[in-house]
Amino acid sequence: MQNLLNLHEIEEAATKVISKKAWAYYYSAADDQISKSFNNTIYRSIFFRPRVFVDCSICNMETSLLGHNVKLPIFVSPAAMARLGHPSGEAGIAEACDRMGVAQIISNSASLSPEQIVAKASPGQVFGWQLYVQRDLKMSEAMLERVNSLDPIKFIVLTVDAPVPGKREDDERVNNIGRMAGGGGSVATQLFAGTDPSISWDKTLRWLSEHTKKPIVVKGLQTHEDVVVAGSYAPLVRGVVLSNHGGRSLDTAPPAVHTLLEVRRYCPEMFERIDIWVDGGIRRGTNAIKALCLGAKAVGIGRPVLWGLGAGGVKGVERTLQILGNEMATCMRLLGVKSVQDLGPQYVNTRIVEQQIYHGSSGSSLEPRSDFVVQGKL
């Protein structure tokens, strides 16, 4: 593992050893994979503005997520079916996250139970639980009851950008081969069976607030209007994740950086109202620092963790996080920044990307209930 120097090399190593089914599910994205590709390349159009002659002997990357301390402003995005890549699965990811001081959001479709994943959690280790609302609400309510009893799980991540699965052709192609050999449906098709496509702001948040007292983070926002709506539900909603689902849902949906810049342009007050996190396309420490400069409180990585797990189990995930953390520290020192709290828009030039940001009327047709907004609860 120590000979692998970046996340790209870890992905290459994993691709050589995991099964075709695992590769197809992890790698696949919607349609022509434009959003997936753009997630990775958008950061190349943002340039740094380094300050020099700054004492950079100290580099502090510690921060807090919803009041819980973490050593790095990184979280593991919910990534399903980790055991396809390695027998240790999500428990292996948890072990590596513990060693590196990183938060982990457990997938609703994890290959291990939440109890198994958090069984060896250290005091203070931070987990979130991803929720896809099921048509059969009793199923979701039963899972929430289990999650509510697990103290290491600090918050619920309600994923809203995939009420139905996107068209992931690599996953489907392996499925077609498997079907001819007597296999079942694609991994994505199986995982999304039963997901409720009728979720909506007031109805779903009202229901969720009745079944958990843990803080709620809404994942999958792709416009500033929806960030405003989410913010109006504070303090029940404590944060959002700007994300296009790794390019796996709607192809040509915007990268998180676009939405982040929309928020800065149209509703910058949201940075003070709720935590704003991003995921998608983070492959270098420089990518992560650019997102933090633009106001993100933390950045998420999904596929890179699965590639790390596939390439080397727990040590592979640990190496992935180590590389990213070291790159972030180097970047901060070369920028002349001592702490992640000191990062800001003055350290980046986004002029090229600003040309791509939505420029039109602002407003939302989805208005929350007035009593909910005033009281902050249902």
Tell me the domains of the chain and their CATH numbers: 7-358 (3.20.20.70)
Which 8-state DSSP code applies to residue 253?
Answer: P
pLDDT at residue 187 in the model: 60
* Beta strands in the chain, from DSSP E residues, in sequence order: 47-48, 63-65, 68-70, 74-76, 103-106, 127-131, 153-159, 216-221, 237-242, 275-279, 298-301, 348-349
CB 255 within 8 A of CB 244: yes
Residue 375, pLDDT > 50, answer no
Residue 230 in tokens: 């989410």
CB 254 within 8 A of CB 244: yes
Q: Is position 279 annotated in a ligand binding site?
A: yes
The enclosing H or E element of 147 equals: helix 137-148
Q: Report how far residue 114's alpha carbon sits from residue 74's, in angstroms, rounded to the nearest whole number.
A: 21
In the set 68, 245, 258, 359, the catalytic residue is 245
pLDDT at residue 30 in the model: 84
pLDDT at residue 33 in the model: 87
Buried b or exposed e, range 118-147, using 16+ CB within 10 angstroms: beebeeebbbbbbbbbbeeeeebeebbeeb
Q: Is position 16 annotated in a ligand binding site?
A: no
Taking only the tens place, the pLDDT of each residue in 252-293 is 999 999 999 999 999 999 999 999 999 999 999 999 999 999
Q: Is position 159 annotated in a ligand binding site?
A: yes
Q: What are residue 195's DSSP bridge partners?
A: 134
Taking only the tens place, the pLDDT of each residue in 12-36 is 999 999 999 999 999 988 888 899 8
Average pLDDT over residues 312-339: 98
Q: Is 30 helix (H, G, I), strand (E, B) or coil?
A: strand
Average model confidence (pLDDT) for the chain?
Answer: 91
Q: Is position 188 annotated in a ligand binding site?
A: no
Residue 376, pLDDT > 50, answer no
Is 68 an active-site residue? no
Task: Report CA-CA distances (Å) from 53 to 16, 47, 59, 377.
Answer: 45, 20, 15, 49
pLDDT at residue 188 in the model: 56
Taking only the tens place, the pLDDT of each residue in 203-223 is 999 999 999 999 999 999 999
Q: Is 55 helix (H, G, I), strand (E, B) or coil?
A: coil
Q: Report how far residue 102's alpha carbon sits from residue 96's, in angstroms, rounded to the nearest whole number.
A: 8
Taking only the tens place, the pLDDT of each residue in 54-68 is 999 999 999 999 999
